[in-house]
Amino acid sequence: MEYRIEHDSMGEVKVPADRLWGAQTQRSHENFPIGVGIETMPAEIVRAFGILKKAAARANNILVGGRMTDEKLNAISAACDEVIDGTLIEEFPLVVWQTGSGTQSNMNANEVIANRANQIAGKKLCHPNDDINMSQSSNDTFPTAMHIAAVCALEDRLLPAVETLIETFRRIEKENPEIVKSGRTHLQDATPIRFCQEVSGWRSSLEKDAELIRLAAGPLHELALGGTAVGTGLNAPAGFDRQVAMEVAGITGKEFVTAGNKFHGLTSKDELTFAHGAIKATACDMMKIANDVRWLASGPRLGLGEITIPANEPGSSIMPGKVNPTQCEQVTMVAVQIMGNDVAVGMAASQGNFELNVFMPVLIYNFLQSARLLSESILAFNDNCASGIKVNEEKMRHNLHNSLMLVTALNPYIGYENAAKVAHKAFDENTSLREACTALGFLTEEEFDKVFHPEQMV
């Protein structure tokens, strides 16, 4: 491999000749050989850096045009566009397990954008620190990149996925308006419920989750950019924080604003912790829904069997014809991962000292993994399972009329204690509620038939 010599404040460094990164990126690449190629800084953060560096260049051009000339702005903007669209993703090799401030990833962005801008300009025009990092610090750029990436993950990926599954459940409700089945509580028979009512519970849970995600995304629109090293805004021109937030909003089409208190913006990660709670809440509901679906589809002959789900792949290497609820299983595994990530996010948010949180890379790594996994999991579950749910109306009817908890309908006529006697007698003797009730003399057959209508108990 051929190398070129780069230098930074600590001296000279050999850098692969075909790479755009510079000395500080190379030092980090060599000093942190932890999860290389596997746990690299998320692509969403790299894209966010492209957005904020382009926005910063625009703001500097407006506020300090003598230093950020139009020529520099044009070259930097073009380079940033290649970062944003993923063209330069291989130039960002650094791992999550680096400095807790994300400084090396900020310098990675500075070096790559500067060197690419110089290629575009055809001359040595831009310096990583003086131009790409102008009016900034790693301490305000990395928190800003975290918020940009988080908002995009929630609004552009997770919410659309949730809405897709909501619409699928709404369709299933409309297709099955009158089917009545046995309800279940504590995994035991309960009073009747319409299948569409059961599905409406799933849908409503996801609608509430979507509300929570939108609510949680709100505070993430505040950006720390402009606070520089410790929140005071040292070396940033007056108005830079407001202008750069406006530029980020213009690039993304999202309503980003400058944070009211930059000291908070650098030190506290409460907004991300709160937002991850909304992700976790959605994962919890998805686990419940997936478990309901696989219970209802259990069988095909010896389980509940009240619905069927698509048979996507063989379920066993030894049992021919076996089909398993694999989409339900992936959902529940993803939910478990997200619950674990929530612990990491909370722990990371509680750490750091004085003017800076220094657990930011691991926090955003887990946050973005949760958002990505849940988005992809929901879409896979929707496309390969929920969309193909079919009702086994015959089995639902059989289970309904075989349920002892239909005895609840007799409470107003024979009282709770007598109704309990009917249920126990029917269970012990394996007879119907009608037979047990008339045998105990609580109602005649005619009286029983007059008041006992399971389909009207919903």
Residues with a catalytic annotation lie at 186, 316
Cβ(79)–Cβ(20) below 8 Å: no
Q: Which amino acid is at 144?
A: T
Give the side-chain half-sphere CA count within 13 A for 283. Answer: 29
Helix, strand, coil abundance in the chain, percent, nearest 5: 60, 10, 30
Helix and strand tally (H, E) in the chain? 17, 8
The two tokens of residue 400 are: 């309904």
Which stretch of DSSP H or E encloses residue 181? strand 180-185
d(CA 436, CA 428) in angstroms, rounded, equals: 10
d(CA 254, CA 250) in angstroms, rounded, equals: 7
Cβ(112)–Cβ(88) below 8 Å: yes
Q: Which amino acid is at 395?
A: K
d(CA 211, CA 217) in angstroms, rounded, equals: 10
Which stretch of DSSP H or E encloses residue 7? strand 3-8
- The DSSP string of 183-208 is EEETTEEEEEEEHHHHHHHHHHHHHH
In three state form, how does the secondary structure of 386-444 look? HHHCEECHHHHHHHHHCCHHHHHHHHHHHCHHHHHHHHHHHHHHCCCHHHHHHHCCCCC
Q: Which amino acid is at 266?
A: L
| Residue 394: Cβ within 10 Å count | 10
Backbone angles phi, psi at 266, to 5 degrees: -85, -30
- The DSSP string of 87-151 is TTGGG---BSSS-TT-HHHHHHHHHHHHHHHHHHHTS----IIIIITTT--HHHHHHHHHHHHHH
Residues in the chain: 458
d(CA 254, CA 301) in angstroms, rounded, equals: 52
